[in-house]
Amino acid sequence: MILPPDPSQPRRPWGSDQARLHRHLLRHPCLLPAGESLLLAVSGGQDSMALITLLRDLQPLHHWRLQLWHGDHGWRPDAARQAEELLQWARSQGLALRLDRADPVPLSEAEARNWRYGCLAEAALQWPCTHVVTGHTASDRAETILLNLARGSHLRGLASLGASRPLGPKADALRLVRPLLVFDRADTGRLCRERSLPVWEDSSNADLRFARNRLRAEVMPVLEDLHPGASRRISAQAERLEQQLEAETELLELALGALEAEGAPGRLQRKRLASLAPASQRRLLQHWLHRHLGSDPGARSLETLVTRLGQGGDPGRLDLAGGWQLHWDRSTLWVRTPDALHG
């Protein structure tokens, strides 16, 4: 149900964009719960300017407290001036903005991202607040998926850039939320124009040496032209995949429980496992070993393992990464820790 704006609150524009975001938040009440303090990460680009605007429009209905954060990477000569202009604009809107400057200047995109999320986690702790919010849109998510697909990423990589994830060491204390995944870049650009919002362009976005920029400039327009709404559909597909992977994890846990050897906790029944389809065996063993090793055992180890387990009832052993070992006899299989081997 979409509630009309509350007449007792200051009037804010109410159009199809506000209705879409409001509906999305009602459908997913854990994303940005009413009354929470939200820290908005704003680069000054069109997505983050649309984010500020939409959340302010919906604020009277959700009663959030909003604070802005901007990180100046010091990458461009005009970055400090842009940060100062953004600060002035926020003040003119009655919004509090915290500005952090990177020192030393990050040397890569990955370093910059780590620095940003580190600062955001610290600022969230000090304010304090429970949700950090970014302006990622369906276009960002679709680009990430296509890049990961082209690089040969695992299924998990295709479900990346989800609507919400823990941020920082305490999983339940702070969440990073991306509420604008129901919009694409054309939507945020239109909203900025309609509302005459200032937008601070990042000149490096035009540099076609970066894979993402090239995909954004040369591939996405073709897909959107062929199938209008392509970015949003690709992003929605990733959302469904993420949910399927979550469901699969629960089912794997149930199946592993059923495969556990009686009277020998931590061991799996060899015959029962080997009676399953090879693809099911590989997936179950991957999940089980990941639980022990804390990392993926690798496709080749799994392939070898399934082949050897299916060959008669001979006992055997497979050496895994980090000194771990998998052992099996006629009836069960079990993992030996590196400590047990040296002890």
Of 220 and 285, CB closest to ligand ATP: 220
With CB under 6 A as the contact rule, the residue among 21, 31, 32, 45 that binds ligand ATP is: 45
41 is an interface residue for ligand ATP by CB under 6 A = yes
Q: Choose the binding region for ligand ATP from 35-43, 223-231, 246-254, 321-329 (rule: CB under 6 A).
A: 35-43
* Count of CB atoms situated within 10 Å of the CB of 28: 14
| Contact pick of 18, 48, 301, 332 for ligand ATP (by CB under 6 A) | 48
Span 88-147, contacts to ligand ATP by CB under 6 A: 116, 134-136, 140
The span of 3-11, 36-44, 266-274, 308-316 binding ligand ATP (CB under 6 A) equals 36-44
Strand partners, 133: 40, 177
What is the rounded distance in angstroms from the CA atom of residue 55 to the CA atom of residue 12?
11
43 is in an annotated binding site: yes
47: annotated binding-site residue?
yes
Smaller CB separation from ligand ATP, 213 or 325: 213
44 has binding-site annotation = yes
The reply to whether 148 sits near ligand ATP by the rule CB under 6 A is no
Residue 47 within binding range of ligand ATP, rule CB under 6 A: yes
Q: Is 176 in the site for ligand ATP (CB under 6 A)?
A: no
Helix (H) or strand (E) holding 38: strand 37-41
The pair of three-digit structure tokens given for residue 201, joined into one six-digit string: 């362009």
Distance CA(292)–CA(308), nearest Å, equals 20
Count of residues interacting with ligand ATP (CB under 6 A): 15
46 annotated as belonging to a binding site for a ligand:
yes
49: phi then psi, degrees, rounded to nearest 5: -70, -35
Tokens of 244: 């399927």
Distance, CA of 54 to CA of 290 (rounded, Å) = 41
User: In whole angstroms, how close is the CB of 133 to ligand ATP at the nearest point?
Assistant: 7
Q: Which of 22, 32, 38, 43 binds ligand ATP (CB under 6 A)?
A: 43
Closest CA to 206 of 216, 221, 192: 216
Residue 314 among known ligand-binding residues: no
Q: Which two tokens stand for residue 127?
A: 């304010």
> Rounded to the nearest 10 degrees, what angle do helices 230-259 and 138-150 cross at?
60
Which 49-78 positions form the footprint of ligand ATP (CB under 6 A)? 69-71
Closer CB to ligand ATP, 45 or 162, in the complex: 45
Quick check: 141 and 242 in contact, CB under 8 A?
no
CB atoms under 10 Å from CB of 254, counted, come to: 9
Is 48 labelled a binding residue? yes
Backbone φ, ψ for residue 24 (5° rounding)? -60, -40
Give the residues lining the site for ligand ATP (CB under 6 A). Answer: 41-43, 45-48, 69-71, 116, 134-136, 140
Binding residues for ATP: 43-48
